[in-house]
Amino acid sequence: MIEMLRINHQFAIGKKGKERVVPVLHDIDLHVREGEIVAIVGRSGSGKSTLLNLMSGYIRPTSGEIRVAGQSVTSLSEGEWANFRLARLGFMFQSFQLIPSMTAFENAELPLVLKGLGVSERRKRVMELLEQVGIADYAGHYPGELSGGQQQRVSVARSLMLNPPIVLADEPTGSLDSDNERQLLALIQHLNQDKGTTFVLITHDEQVASIAHRTVNLKDGYLLNAYGKGDNPAHEVH
Ligand SMILES: Nc1ncnc2c1ncn2[C@@H]1O[C@H](COP(=O)(O)OP(=O)(O)OP(=O)(O)O)[C@@H](O)[C@H]1O
């Protein structure tokens, strides 16, 4: 579903003409299969978010190739990436990226508006998902009137609105209390089992990692190991 082939990535930092190159990822070969939940773990600064940003097309690798759903995405233009994301990817980020002047309902509805769906279809789908994440009672509230955990749930509902086959998540339960964390993990497992949704989850949290089929460990930009639950060879890393 997602193939990273010999990926190297470095950032250039400092003033123009005096840039210093900072290598962040080294020779990453990772294959996330359709229907897998993969957790990416590793210390702060090990390159986890960079790996996810490469999968999302927000940054381009210095070298190597990335394929998503069989398509090489490394050389897509910005516009092609935007369409590709809308059709294929859902995102759950640490920062909820909600628009402050829009209600929870309107924020969650945005992908459906972009897709051009009609009002009644949008209303049905939005309320269904807000129910599912336990935030329907707050549909008319603005982000400023919601707690961090409630905002996170609105953002989760928005990320799932178009039934994406792949969801990329950076610390998806970061702002949730343990009850809400359990609910979100159950939703992720349900979507994975019911719809075959593929998940890549960055996490420091053992509870989150425990729902993964496979855990991938990054250390100083190197992929250290990957191991599956049990000895299922289908979960070996490539
Ligand atoms: N845009 C950027 N420009 C320069 N350096 C960057 C940039 N983004 C990340 N880095 C550097 O790349 C390294 C890896 O960062 P990254 O955010 O991928 O780590 P991480 O494992 O996600 O960390 P954390 O768990 O703290 O979020 C860090 O040393 C960071 O300073």
Report how far ligand 1's centroid is from the alpha carbon of 45 (Å): 5
Give the CATH H-level superfamily of domain 34-61+80-235: P-loop containing nucleotide triphosphate hydrolases (3.40.50.300)
Nearest atom in ligand 1 to 50's CA:
18
Output the residue whose Cα is nearest ligand 1's atom 29: 45
Residue 232: predicted pLDDT: 41
203 Cβ closer than 6 Å to some ligand 1 atom: no
Nearest atom in ligand 1 to 221's CA:
14
pLDDT tens-digit series, residues 165-219: 999 999 888 777 888 888 889 889 998 999 999 999 999 888 888 999 999 999 9
Measured between alpha carbons, how far is 143 from 202 in angstroms, rounded to an integer? 24
Contact 180, 161 (CB under 8 A): no
48 Cβ closer than 6 Å to some ligand 1 atom: yes
Mean pLDDT of 91-97: 78
Pocket test for ligand 1, best of 13, 15, 24 (most atoms within 8 A of CB): 24
Contact 88, 25 (CB under 8 A): no
Confidence class for position 32, pLDDT limits 50, 70, 90: very high
pTM over 0.95: no
Report how far ligand 1's centroid is from the alpha carbon of 206 (Å): 22
Residue 29: predicted pLDDT: 94
98 Cβ closer than 6 Å to some ligand 1 atom: no
119 Cβ closer than 6 Å to some ligand 1 atom: no
Nearest atom in ligand 1 to 202's CA:
22
Measured between alpha carbons, how far is 101 from 99 in angstroms, rounded to an integer? 6
140 Cβ closer than 6 Å to some ligand 1 atom: no
